[in-house]
Amino acid sequence: MKINEFKSILEKKGVDFAVFYNSDSTRVNPNMLYFSGYNGLGSLIIPIKQSPFLVVPEMEFERAKKSAIKKVYPMEKKKFFESIYKIIKKNRLRIGNIAVDKNNFTLNSYRYFRNQFKKIKIKDISKDCQKLREVKSKNEIKIITKACKYSDKMIQKAIKNFKIFKTESEAAAFLEYQTKKNGLELAFNPIVASGSHGSMPHHEPSSAKIKKGFCIIDFGVKYRGYLSDISRTIYIGNPGKREKEIYNFLSKIQRNAINQIKDNIKCSKLYNDVNDSLGKYKKNFIHGLGHGVGVEIHELPNLTLNSKDIIRNKMVFTIEPGIYFPKKFGIRIEDTVLFDKEIKVLTKTTKDLLIVN
């Protein structure tokens, strides 16, 4: 949770406390989850000189009491920010400078918040939270590793049963069912992109019949609040020589990119080296090389062209080169990896071209 490290950041910024909140039951505030283990409605307050506390609706009170935060207060009905303000006053916190994560404030909510906390300086700590979450703890690594094992197991089962699926939607529904069956949540909506649909990296599975040719499957699960991410490209039918060559070419580039990772290497260098290796296919590489994975599916570091990030110990991120041919097909191979003095691939599903007849 790194709360003490976070308090040091608050102290350097000259703020009295930080406020995180979530008023939408369909969403999770990643920083509330990260610092408290609680993912429901309410607010988390982290003072510099006191213990953190939660303010939650009565219906969430019992669940919040099971979080890592010992002090939990029920809020008044229909008085979200008023309740937070009163409990902050009750705890005798100095209300001078306040830190908030503006990435998780809607415009309306921020207006209501400012109406309650008037004439107070607000400092944004969204980037500080992202940087703090960039390096994982031993426990976080353990949880993400388990999430990757689950995703491996399920994607392998989906590929094994792939010939029984008639549509992309059926294949995606199978992955979702397996996730729920294991008591987990999806990290994101699964991508199943067959044939020409594969040329769109974020294609949404359709009810159309699965097309012959390459089919990209992009999938991940959420386990104890942490996520996994894996992509495999299979082939429906019988691939020709050129198709095998293109797949094996990308597979080799992906393996080489993983083997190149070392401490303090620039993420932009990793991206540029892959881009150069693609040669005549570099114009068909239309997204970043990878992204951090944690309580959100896209975290730091960013492995992109202009990234300022560098690889450090205990970072978890993806390596996912892809090549896409508009209206024809796409190929993407993605692993979640851990760098901890050396590289460790957390997603183990084979990267040999699997053929479904």
**336-348 pLDDT per residue, tens:** 999 999 999 999 9
For the beta carbon of residue 348, count every other beta carbon within 10 angstroms.
Answer: 14
Q: Is the peptide bond before 301 cis (omega within 30 degrees of 0)?
A: yes
Return all residues near 80 (Cβ < 8 A) that are at least 6 apart: 21, 23, 43, 112
DSSP 238-253: ---HHHHHHHHHHHHH
Q: What is the pTM of this model?
A: 0.93
pLDDT at 198: 96
Residue 124 CA to residue 24 CA, distance in Å, equals 21
Residue 318 has pLDDT above 80, yes or no: yes
Burial of 111 (0-12, 13-18, 19+ CB in 10 A): exposed
Residue 7 has pLDDT above 90, yes or no: yes
pLDDT at 1: 60
Structure tokens given for 80:
């979200």
Residue 131 has pLDDT above 70, yes or no: yes
Banded pLDDT at 248 (limits 50, 70, 90): very high
Residue 159 has pLDDT above 80, yes or no: yes
Residue 326 CA to residue 200 CA, distance in Å, equals 8
For the chain, give the percent of residues with pLDDT over 70. 99
pLDDT at 78: 64
Please compute Rg for the chain using Cα positions: 23
Question: Average pLDDT for residues 183-192, to the nearest whole number?
Answer: 97
pLDDT digits over 63-88, tens only?
999 999 999 999 877 677 788 888 88
Structure tokens given for 39:
């993912």
pLDDT at 226: 97
